[in-house]
Chain A
Amino acid sequence: MSLNSWGMYPLIKNKKIMFQKKEDLKNKLQESNIYIPFGNGRSYGDSALNKNIIYCKPYNYLLNFDESTGLLHCQAGIMLSEIIEIFVPKGWFLKITPGTKLITIGGAIASDVHGKNHHIEGCFSECVEEFSLMLANGEIKKCSKTNNAELFKATCGGMGLTGIILDAKISLKKINSQYIEQITIKTKNLKETFDAFEKYSNKPYSVAWIDCLAKDNEIGKCLLMVGDFENDGNLNFKSKKKLNIPFNFPSFALNKLSVKAFNWLYYRKAPNGVSKQKVDIDSFFYPLDAINNWNRIYGKAGFTQYQFILPKKTSFEGLTEILKEISNSGKGSFLAVLKLYGKENDNYLSFPIEGYSLALDFKIEKGLFELLDKLDQIVLKYNGKIYLTKDVRVSKETFEKGYPNIEKFRNLRKEYGMDKKFQSLQSLRVGI
């Protein structure tokens, strides 16, 4: 069975390697094939695709949990959703989580994912105490910020190109409720949106949903959601039943009109000004996970997510220019996500820098890549960069400008013989 990425583009035939024991994997690596590790297939583009993929999801045992410190030792195939389901009732939650819980721990490390609390807590690597990495020659190295630090820095955010993450020790955070006190702030333009982000930047979690088809003086209007865990002792967490999108929507279903209508409804749904709600973990952190296979609404041709980040200094100007360009093109997604980021870390290929990032979904169609190339130029003009986990088309040149540590990463790959063993369609395209 061929495995696809979440964007369902490109589709390639691949052979899936499964392993139960480290020795099995080591033997596989001795063969002359080139591999890329694959978790739950939630990266959008081609970063986990190749002819031979190492399917890590079934490698998913919990190995140990220390109830006094919240340190969890687990194999890398386990999904965040399982961790949440098992540990929220015990009063623990992930320190850092992206907007989907349907990814593996290995994937979270390889993408060095970030969440709604990046401006305070940083990337996923901040909660990783240690992991074991199988190198190209089958040797296993324990990596942490102090032990094999260069492998740690390369692997966190390294897109699976440094080896196979086998197991990891991650620290969970104590919570005393399964509910979040959410404050929603409705803004009328980008200036108001930025002001609101700054005003609420002391709140642990924040994210904004932007109407990317808004024009003129309404550009950047949004619903900003900020929040923190309640303290009511209610930990009676159960995952909700999911809706399912049973088949690919026809390609005409998603067009300028339907997106506009949706955005209009969504924006109107929230009361004007500032309002408060009590919401559960799933609705606050993972609204889209409630719909199984939601990628099918973009139709058979697939879709991609365009996510870039700009330094704080240039964010306002850059975002205004980009939003204008998108709004004029008429292409765009239901909702675009805007997020404030804190300090960057020193991992070689981690995405976040201090500033603002915007993520938008686009269905794959004629003229899209030309538009995205145009947006790339604006991103570069304002010293920004593109997120590899979402990417399927960025050029080598654009990529390199955004990632100044790329040479260090390339050298390390050569040094360990990783460049000859681990490659993805993406790594070949951008020359990693």
Chain B
Amino acid sequence: MSYVLIIGAKSDIAKELARVYAKNGYNLYLAARNSDSLNDLVNDIKIRSNVDVQIKEFDIVKFETHQNFYDSLETKPLGVIVTAGYMAEQKECEKEWNKTLNTINVNYLGIISILNIVSNDMEKNKNGFIIGVSSVAGDRGRKANYIYGSSKAAFSAYLSGLRNRLYESKVQVLTVKPGFVNTKMTKDLDLPAKLTIEPEDIALDIYNAQQKGKDILYTKGIWRLIMLIIKHIPEFIFKKMSI
């Protein structure tokens, strides 16, 4: 059976995605930095499902290592899922260039670096799927988190272009735009329960959307409507708002 490569495998969403894909018979490459901590997850998946799971050491901001990393994969993955992400406080990003740079490097440059390599291979094989977990925060820059938001906006635009390019090669590109997800990344935020989704539910949403060949997934779905409204607020009003 085919392999799925999950990049940023230590995130809460990745953990559930790994379980869903394994349950449906896919073998897994779990790639992350300091990947030793993934041992428990590998053990968990092996008890649940009869698939091959391999841990791969991977640093998304070490761009120069990406080609070797991909070349080293014995069986090239049918699917690549990027859940890597970094969210620092907006205020901190404004003051500390390092945090801003890391946001851009993780959420955009690093991902593009590896996906360029992946997509060339998939284009050649005329087969495969790429899932990028972006964010609704990329739909419009807001003062509350525009550093993070703009990196996600760039990522979303990249995926949109990539989808356009790979359409003829029959390679699926799915952009996922989660709203609030109940994860360790958001544990200190005061999220409204009705707009918040659990990692296991979002993983199932993503799997179903990918299997159906979808292009863009808002999850929860209500976010499509919310962002539609937010995107259409005229700039001269929007700039005065705090949302």
Bound CA span A170–B50, Å: 22
Q: Are A1 and B44 in contact (CB under 8 A)?
A: no
- Is B182 in the interface zone, CB < 8 Å from A? yes
B20-59: CB near A (< 8 Å → 1, else 0) gives: 0000000000000000000011011001100000000000
Contacts of A16 in B (CB 8 A): 187
Q: Are A61 and B44 in contact (CB under 8 A)?
A: yes
Q: Which of B38-90 contact A (CB under 8 A)?
A: 40-41, 43-44, 47-48
Q: Are A18 and B43 in contact (CB under 8 A)?
A: no
Q: Are B193 and A1 in contact (CB under 8 A)?
A: yes
Q: Which of A60-100 contact B (CB under 8 A)?
A: 61-65, 86
Say what secondary structure dominates the interface of chain B: helix
Bound CA span A1–B196, Å: 8
Chain B nearest CB, measured from A241 CB (Å): 11
Bound CA span A130–B186, Å: 33
Q: Are B48 and A86 in contact (CB under 8 A)?
A: yes
Bound CA span A86–B22, Å: 12
Bound CA span A1–B199, Å: 14
Interface-centre pick from B40, B41, B196, B199 (highest chain A CB count, 10 A):
B40
Known contacts: A16-B187, A18-B187. The answer to whether A61 contacts B40 by CB under 8 A is: yes
Known contacts: A2-B193, A58-B12, A63-B43. The answer to whether A18 contacts B48 by CB under 8 A is: no
Q: Are B182 and A1 in contact (CB under 8 A)?
A: yes
Chain B nearest CB, measured from A24 CB (Å): 10
- Is B95 in the interface zone, CB < 8 Å from A? no
Q: Are A62 and B196 in contact (CB under 8 A)?
A: no
Contacts of A20 in B (CB 8 A): 184
Chain B nearest CB, measured from A25 CB (Å): 13
Q: Are A62 and B192 in contact (CB under 8 A)?
A: no
Q: Are B43 and A1 in contact (CB under 8 A)?
A: no
- Is B190 in the interface zone, CB < 8 Å from A? yes
Chain B nearest CB, measured from A286 CB (Å): 18
Bound CA span A86–B44, Å: 11
Q: Are A4 and B47 in contact (CB under 8 A)?
A: no
Known contacts: A1-B191, A62-B47, A62-B48. The answer to whether A18 contacts B40 by CB under 8 A is: no
A50-64: CB near B (< 8 Å → 1, else 0) gives: 000000001001111
Q: Which of B179-198 contact A (CB under 8 A)?
A: 180, 182, 184, 186-187, 189-193, 196
**Interface size for chain B: under 10, 10 to 19, 20 to 34, or 35 or more residues?**
10 to 19
Bound CA span A86–B49, Å: 8
Bound CA span A159–B43, Å: 30
A281-321: CB near B (< 8 Å → 1, else 0) gives: 00000000000000000000000000000000000000000
- Chain A residue nearest to B190 in the complex (CB): A1
Q: Are B41 and A18 in contact (CB under 8 A)?
A: no
Bound CA span A387–B123, Å: 61
Bound CA span A62–B44, Å: 5
Contacts of A58 in B (CB 8 A): 12, 184, 199
Interface-centre pick from A18, A58, A62 (highest chain B CB count, 10 A):
A58
Q: Are B47 and A64 in contact (CB under 8 A)?
A: yes
Q: Are A65 and B47 in contact (CB under 8 A)?
A: yes
Contacts of B191 in A (CB 8 A): 1
Chain A nearest CB, measured from B91 CB (Å): 21
Bound CA span A18–B198, Å: 14
Chain A nearest CB, measured from B75 CB (Å): 26
Bound CA span A64–B182, Å: 27
Contacts of A62 in B (CB 8 A): 43-44, 47-48
Chain B nearest CB, measured from A167 CB (Å): 11
Contacts of A64 in B (CB 8 A): 47
Contacts of B43 in A (CB 8 A): 61-63
- Chain B residue nearest to A86 in the complex (CB): B48
Q: Which of A1-22 contact B (CB under 8 A)?
A: 1-4, 16, 18, 20
Bound CA span A58–B10, Å: 13
Chain B nearest CB, measured from A74 CB (Å): 9
- Chain A residue nearest to B19 in the complex (CB): A82
Q: Are A61 and B41 in contact (CB under 8 A)?
A: yes
- Chain A residue nearest to B198 in the complex (CB): A57
Chain A nearest CB, measured from B196 CB (Å): 5
Chain B nearest CB, measured from A234 CB (Å): 20
Contacts of A4 in B (CB 8 A): 193
B193-211: CB near A (< 8 Å → 1, else 0) gives: 1001001000000000000
- Chain A residue nearest to B45 in the complex (CB): A62
Bound CA span A61–B16, Å: 11
Chain B nearest CB, measured from A67 CB (Å): 10
Contacts of B44 in A (CB 8 A): 61-63
**A-B contact list, 17 entries, CB within 8 Å:** A1-B190, A1-B191, A1-B192, A1-B193, A1-B196, A2-B190, A18-B184, A58-B199, A61-B43, A61-B44, A62-B43, A62-B44, A62-B47, A62-B48, A63-B44, A86-B47, A86-B48
Rank and list the top 8 A-B pairs by shortest CB-CB distance, nearest first: A1-B191, A61-B44, A62-B47, A62-B44, A61-B40, A18-B187, A86-B48, A65-B47
Could you list which residues of chain B lie within 8 angstroms of chain A, going by C-beta atoms? 12, 40-41, 43-44, 47-48, 180, 182, 184, 186-187, 189-193, 196, 199
Besides A1-B186, A1-B192, 8 new A-B residue pairs in contact (Cβ under 8 A), listed by A number: A1-B190, A2-B190, A18-B187, A61-B40, A61-B41, A62-B48, A63-B43, A86-B48
